[in-house]
Amino acid sequence: MASGANGSEPLLEDIEEFRPIGEIEDADRRRRKDLDRESARAVKGGATRGSYRKLALATIMLATVGVAFALLITAVELSKDDRQPVYDLNLKRGSPEYTLFLASAGKLLPPQIHEVVLEGELEPKGRIIIIGDVHGCIKEMKELLVEAEYVHGVDTVILVGDLGDKGPYPLEVIAEARRLGFYSVRGNHDDKALASYESFLAGKPVPSKQRWVKEMPSGAAEWLHKLPFTIRLPSYGLVVVHAGLVPDVPLTRQQLGDLYMMREVVNTTGGWRAEEAKCDPTGKLGPAWASVWEGPDHVFFGHDHERGLQRRAYATGLDTGCCYGDRLSAAILPSMRDLRAAQQSQSGSTLRPSLDPQDIKIISVPAHEKYYEDHDPCS
């Protein structure tokens, strides 16, 4: 690993923690082989003493110990893996582009896939500002914060992911997000950046779109690596995710690839299935997932600049294509204190289970220029 600003190597340590199942099985097989060899040696020693009974007993005991040991190791490895129960990455999609996007997921999983931010972690007077796909547009991000009258240390900012690529200042966006303590979820481009960074560290070629990762400080890479796939704020009844959620599937059963890639859903006999129509030549274009999402959580997301701003009863899409020369947008939610006060004065009741769309204020600023032309139908 290239030595970064602080010279530490936690990224690789973290990766080690999330070894793919295949590797775990290989290690287990190796252990079993070693045990077999030990067992064979014991058998040999026993035979020279000429006692077949002792030999058989030793073999059985060793085999038992071996099996018990192997089971114990497997159990320990599996229990380590409990945090990531169902991450089939949907590699069966068939489209080579689709699998390309999932280059790093699975070996560079964050320590926390689904982060929860409790009310006690928010400033009581602070608002929630959720910002759409920034893609390196640092000027517009700063202008949007001014437009939002963002107060550092009071308001909570959450980015919907895709911080880099396409736009001109990916490293500055990451640095500013870290400096100001923003939350962010992982977007498909953050994932690609991580995969490219790993390639760079390993001395392998880096795709031209991610050349910027070669300048990325190790601390920034580590920060990027830790971004969860979803952030939930139970007090607001909201979830932030980069691309979307499949209706009727619990958060922890959602496929990781879908969380940062899906745009549409297709209704099947087994329920809804995520699609990324542009990336799947065989896929039939289904409805936008947000149009069939029925809550109860209100989902804020990005990734779908072609549909632009989406305002649904239980979902708000915030990718308004800043890097394509359109706009950078944000949703602003009142502080919990103000939200409670307003709702109590309206109905005298306690907080509704989900956000009312009228509590969500949308702001945006125009892009300074068109930074990127979309030649890649899959991004």
Q: Does 170 bind Mn ion (CB under 5 A)?
A: no
Of the candidate residues 167, 187, 244, 283, the single one contacting Mn ion (CB under 5 A) = 187
Site for Mn ion in 21-60 (CB under 5 A): none
> Interacting stretch for Mn ion, rule CB under 5 A, among 158-166, 175-183, 250-258, 271-279?
158-166
Q: Does 321 bind Mn ion (CB under 5 A)?
A: no
With contacts defined by CB under 5 A, name the span among 43-51, 149-157, 182-190, 365-373 that binds Mn ion: 182-190
Is 169 in contact with 327 (CB distance < 8 Å)? no
Q: Which is nearer to Mn ion, 279 or 292 (CB)?
A: 279
Determine the interface stretch with Mn ion among 106-114, 298-306, 331-339, 365-373 (rule: CB under 5 A): 298-306
The Cα 353–Cα 374 span in angstroms is: 39
| From candidates 166, 298, 303, 312, binder to Mn ion by CB under 5 A | 303
Helix (H), strand (E) counts: the chain: 11, 13
In whole angstroms, how close is the CB of 135 to Mn ion at the nearest point? 8
Tell me the residue nearest to Mn ion as measured from the CB: 303
Tokens 């990336």 -> residue: 279
DSSP per position, 54-88 = HHHHHHHHHHHHHHHHHHHHHHHHHHHGGGSTT--
Q: Which of these segments, 46-54, 72-80, 91-99, 180-188, binds Mn ion (CB under 5 A)?
A: 180-188
Residue 68 makes CB contacts below 8 A (sequence gap 6+) with: none
How many of the other CB atoms lie within 10 Å of CB of 332? 19
Q: Binding to Mn ion by residue 188, rule CB under 5 A?
A: yes
Neighbours of 304 (CB within 10 A): 24
Distance CA 106, CA 18 (A): 8
- By CB under 5 A, how many residues form the interface with Mn ion? 4
In whole angstroms, the minimum distance from the beta carbon of 175 to Mn ion comes to 20
184 binds Mn ion (CB under 5 A): no
Before 110, cis peptide (omega within 30)? no
**In which element (H, E) is residue 192 found?**
helix 188-201
Nearer to Mn ion, 126 or 167 (CB): 167
162 near Mn ion, judged by CB under 5 A: yes
Task: Tell me the C-alpha distance between 218 and 220, whole Å.
Answer: 5
Q: Identify residues 227-266 at the interface with Mn ion (CB under 5 A).
A: none
Stretch that binds Mn ion, among 173-181, 220-228, 230-238, 296-304 (CB under 5 A): 296-304
- Applying CB under 5 A, which residues contact Mn ion? 162, 187-188, 303
